[in-house]
Structure 1
């Protein structure tokens, strides 16, 4: 029960103890910390009760390199059911809750969809009272903070912990020791509460921070060897300093491998310690513990569990192998071969010699099995875990795990029929689909309270915040003009909020009466931000030729980070910013189109962007996007999709209707056929599709300046010239350009009819139920982990 008096006293006490300050003199950051810690005091007892309840039975564990959590304060208050009460109390103290929320740093623990999915799963598991604990790494600087300098991406440290993190508790007494080949590390756990919605259950995200055995060598310092005195400390702490350190050099690759091993080893040692406290024979470990490997980053956990069982628990290999096979399951998040992680044998063997030895045993075991099944020599070679001096981590995962799942219906079918077909033919029983989802708590209740209140008014209940399928009841209002107008009013309000936010963040004015056409996601060639850019430039040139063109005003908004070592992705960012500079400074087009590339796109920015969007850009090359979850966030916030039949887009149009979205482009089967027959010639499109050559040539004809970096020439060459293994226009931008342009013209025409546009928005919103991460995680629980709900 929330106690107003106690809460106020807690805030005052925390400010006094932590900062030696009183409320009236406290900085906003200090108030945020004190308020958050006071809320921790409210939830701590239920958190401990949940841990104790779960510890008595079977549990599941999510091993992930990323958790893109976003800010915690607002989300925690909604899940605790005390948002309004806290807002009222703070108002009495002359504190604006919205101002305080803005002082929280986004936890820098993730980069893209992989990490955001993990965060949604943690929220859903707590809400469903499922015994799932997350394991990851506590990156001190996380993913980089993005800025732009002359249109180029600039990266700087994201010091998200500079004001401390009130939501985590250091558990020094549960530190574990991890041995790497040349150093010994203390892995110190920090626990973060994951609060369930409409329940007292509070789950745990445990993150490991790397520390040396000895922080400081006093003798070396005394000998004036100041750098050497802290050298071991620095090398140890490097392991959890940054998410995905640049691995373009051998040192970077070693650091990444050390990160992965630290996550795997520390987490497994923690689990085994907990299990041994039950005084149950180790052979029963899988009956109490199920581990989900989120992509290939934590797959080194497989040989590490075998190593621990043999070297530290005294089992034989066969026993360890059987335990392993029953414990692990693996989620594949990619169709891209280059993204299926592989390790160079000499490097891996140098860093983890014992683990390499175990992988060689597993590899030989697999080869024997493949030969026993009379597979051809070609197939055996293609399926070897160790092949051509490379360790194939995905093959290790598929062989050792009892279940392998894709993350959208199309993705899973492509895995079964193409990319992992050899494995599917051998182990059809292992393969499952688990279409991704998003949590309605953050992506509706928190980010769009206006829409949430409207839906509650229509339904007479808040139950849809857990059960999105309830929204289907609102189909009866599809011809209700008053309700449709109200939806458009809410969208306008969210657009005005975004307009104000962009003005503050980017110093750019945008027109709330324009179509907000938004593409926000990681920058990768297959996601085809470049196709979007080409279309914008083509539209600009057509406007210049025909200033009286009757089009709806359009604001094109991008948000994306490129990996620091990804040259071409960074070139695309520069190119889009050059296009923005050209268009936004041209008064002749009378503001009909505008381009904005928001900087440092993250969860908190997303909470402003998703609800304000009129059009959701999901334009990846068909067959390349495993699922996507941004598409689901837009859909839930009443936004139609313009996209290819790729990833979860396929299921989105199945649910909301093809007529309520804008689908274009070659299908995955057509693309596969062109690849197989080598029948795609991008130059034909370049020469013959009206307007295409003109925009593509801006990369090399001096229209735009890349500061003599060669960036734009590199993009141009990738589209038209064969480069080693890379075929020209590998992502079929030219193939889909004209069809995309037609789809955008259809958008323009459809938007003019506001009533029918509102219907498209309505049908997307009310049919988003399938994409609730509660549904996804309950399927994992029943069909993979076999765990039950345990309510405290």
Structure 2
């Protein structure tokens, strides 16, 4: 039976409301050990999750059997982050069980929506990188591509953000405090991972000499499997996350001697590896732990793939025919020397043969243009923690530089620039260079980003290997970010063009004529109004923030980083406030506006934390200023995550994508907002360029310097103070901050921000300020004409189908991976 036209047939058939309810009660009784009458909400959620999980298992096992039987090529996605979001709602959608589950729970006097709200989402990612990885594994399963995602099962994940006196404070993210019903632990499949020690030369069974690494310590990597169901298919792929355990967790003799802490010290040291996502690395201990994390998960993953997903007699010279290891940024790049170590030291392949296999097996996605974001590991740390890998890197580099010198004779400066091992300011390994040298393909994640990556960041390498560089623009899954998060819009689209668009997002183009239909525009506005009301109600309950839904919802949600320029948004708010204070603008003439921020700052990133404090300080003043008559408000809910995003993004009218041109790799939030009917105010940066080209200039608020203009100003010597001196509005906004207007009269509170803006302003906030203010004035004018605004918003939805992660995966398959679908037939 089919539940709705847009979902697949439930995998276990026949299934009815009654049988679902029976299975739910069985789960509650025999797995949770409680009776329905005495069950807590947590018991009920766990039983519901177990019931839904049970309906996916047969398809999951069938997928594994089918892929192994066909000996198909597998995409092994190596990522330090997976920001998955809530699992229950996605599993119900993918399996087509939502209406059955709702009916079954209703028959038992329970409410599905109530139980969905119990779930704590896995905090396994920091932002866009992890959310992209989650979108990609969703699309891989939906497109029937054999794939396994590999990562780390962080016990605490990304921190839970709170505010104390307006300043960010980090709390542990205890997402596992009540267990996770979606994972399958497999301690029987654990992999031993070594660290430290030394290398030695040994004689192998053929009489030849080879290198052996003798680690001084080891930990056990225990896999936890998550099912990744495809939508509209029987295929269910696997996400395998590794948890670190001690190989010898407990010493009874030491315990009996009375030293109880020492008895479990090995367990503590081992488990630290998978304890926290991105441990603060401003200390040597933090740096070491980060490198341990990276090696830990890739070493376990490569061993797992070779020993468990390949036949015992498989010839590893054919490895590229069976796998493509995709490096999601530089975090997994240590996998390259690890594969070489296995092939040469453990499997006895000739170095050159192993190198050919390795280069054909890896591909590298670069997600940044910022030099400081391209990881570099000191030779001292690598040599101490992974001595054999450093030897392998040295040999790779020596061989590579010989090729560079042969291709560019006499150009020793080029060889130094391209060396994988840098000499200054300390001797260190440049992981992006290693990834580029050892990969078949290197891709950026938006057209502009890939161009700058090829022509500026890695230009020496593209000069040597132009064919190696390509682009795959990012995308987002329409299942979670329209179908689940915006049911009102989803139903409106269904009624207009039918239901097939969820797996063929380019079909949204069929909505274009409806932008001229007054009744459709009215229905579209109704959906937006309902989404705003839903978000306002959520913030009132979740955060105690009281807002009016009758306003322009202006949203800036993303990681707090100076290049993303949350500071520019703050200056716009302060400027509006200052205009009213000075009588240049009447409050009654303001477009009612709710400015919503969502952002976490890295724990050690002081300037980012200062900006968060400033945003909250400005909010405290602006939100209570009688002069504004409540027509301008700031909302900054703490701990922005996928769960909150699913309510906020559909409510947004205006999407703030205002990074300095040439600094944002792509962005995916910009895509989610456009697909949900928000208009973008943005620079020509990252995927904004492609959004602008697709939706049209009339449906996008463009401002700011272009990347070449940014470069020209930098080359000429940027003087931010000159913009302050020449612009009265800018001067007024900065002077308000400096005067203590937002800090109880204390002029020193935000002096760090003021000084940085006037003296450094690395990301040219002041240079783009006036253009941004003028663009925001255009927003106010445009929003006043709701018919025209609705038309533009509908066209944003209609023309953004390109930004499906399904399209991204097809591009990867065509340009990089060359893997084929293997559908499960039932």
How far, CA to CA, are the matches of 2:400 and 2:734 in structure 1? 48
Alignment of 1:587-626 (within 5 A): 587-626=626-665
Kept after mapping to 2: 8 A contact 1:568/1:711:
no
Q: Give secondary structure in 2 for the equivalent of 1:598.
A: coil
Kindly provide the CA deviation profile for residues 263-312 of structure 1, in whole angstroms up to 9, marking residues without a partner as x. 11000000110355252211111111110000000000000000111121
Q: Partner residue of 2:279? A: 245
| 1:98 equivalent among 100, 113, 118 | 113
Q: Partner residue of 2:217? A: 183
Q: Partner residue of 2:446? A: 408
1:127 maps onto 2:142 in alignment: yes
Q: Partner residue of 1:205? A: 239
1:393 maps onto 2:431 in alignment: yes
Q: Partner residue of 1:501? A: 538
| 1:676 equivalent among 697, 704, 715 | 715
How far, CA to CA, are the matches of 2:772 and 2:129 in structure 1? 27
Q: Partner residue of 1:775? A: 807
Alignment of 1:696-735 (within 5 A): 696-705=734-743, 712-721=750-759, 728-735=760-767
How far, CA to CA, are the matches of 1:171 and 1:717 in structure 2? 54
Q: Give secondary structure in 2 for the equivalent of 1:561.
A: coil
| 1:26 equivalent among 5, 25, 39 | 39
Kept after mapping to 2: 8 A contact 1:15/1:30:
yes
Alignment of 1:307-706 (within 5 A): 307-374=341-408, 376-388=411-423, 389-459=427-497, 461-546=498-583, 548-549=586-587, 550-678=589-717, 680-705=718-743
How far, CA to CA, are the matches of 2:318 and 2:282 in structure 1? 42
Q: Partner residue of 2:172? A: 157
How far, CA to CA, are the matches of 2:590 and 2:574 in structure 1? 15
Kindly provide the CA deviation profile for residues 655-686 of structure 1, in whole angstroms up to 9, marking residues without a partner as x. 111110101000011001222232x2111101
Q: Give secondary structure in 1 for the equivalent of 2:227.
A: strand
In the TM superposition, structure 1's runs of 4+ consecutive aligned residues that sit over 6 Å from their partners are 706-711
Q: Give secondary structure in 2 for the equivalent of 1:273.
A: helix
1:784 maps onto 2:819 in alignment: no
How far, CA to CA, are the matches of 1:689 and 1:54 in structure 2? 64
Q: Partner residue of 2:322? A: 288
How far, CA to CA, are the matches of 2:56 and 2:309 in structure 1? 26
Q: Partner residue of 1:725? A: none
1:766 maps onto 2:787 in alignment: no
How far, CA to CA, are the matches of 1:740 and 1:701 in structure 2? 24
**Unaligned stretches of 5+ in structure 2?**
1-12, 197-215
Shift of 1:580: 0.1
**Unaligned stretches of 5+ in structure 1?**
722-727
Kindly provide the CA deviation profile for residues 448-494 of structure 1, in whole angstroms up to 9, marking residues without a partner as x. 111101110111x2111111111111211221100001101100000
Shift of 1:543: 1.5
| 1:40 equivalent among 53, 61, 75 | 53
Kept after mapping to 2: 8 A contact 1:276/1:282:
no
Kept after mapping to 1: 8 A contact 2:740/2:749:
no
Kept after mapping to 2: 8 A contact 1:495/1:613:
yes
1:112 maps onto 2:93 in alignment: no
Kept after mapping to 2: 8 A contact 1:571/1:711:
no
Kindly provide the CA deviation profile for residues 704-734 of structure 1, in whole angstroms up to 9, marking residues without a partner as x. 339999662222222222xxxxxx1110100
Q: Give secondary structure in 2 for the equivalent of 1:17.
A: helix
Q: Report the number of matched residues.
A: 784
Q: Give secondary structure in 2 for the equivalent of 1:158.
A: coil
Kept after mapping to 2: 8 A contact 1:567/1:711:
no
Q: Give secondary structure in 2 for the equivalent of 1:478.
A: helix
TM-score, structure 2 as length reference: 0.93
How far, CA to CA, are the matches of 2:632 and 2:332 in structure 1? 45
Cα root mean square deviation, aligned? 1.4
Q: Give secondary structure in 1 for the equivalent of 2:429.
A: strand
Shift of 1:20: 2.2
TM-score, structure 1 as length reference: 0.97
How far, CA to CA, are the matches of 1:710 and 1:166 in structure 2? 50
Alignment of 1:138-153 (within 5 A): 138-153=153-168
Kept after mapping to 1: 8 A contact 2:20/2:100:
no
Shift of 1:26: 0.9
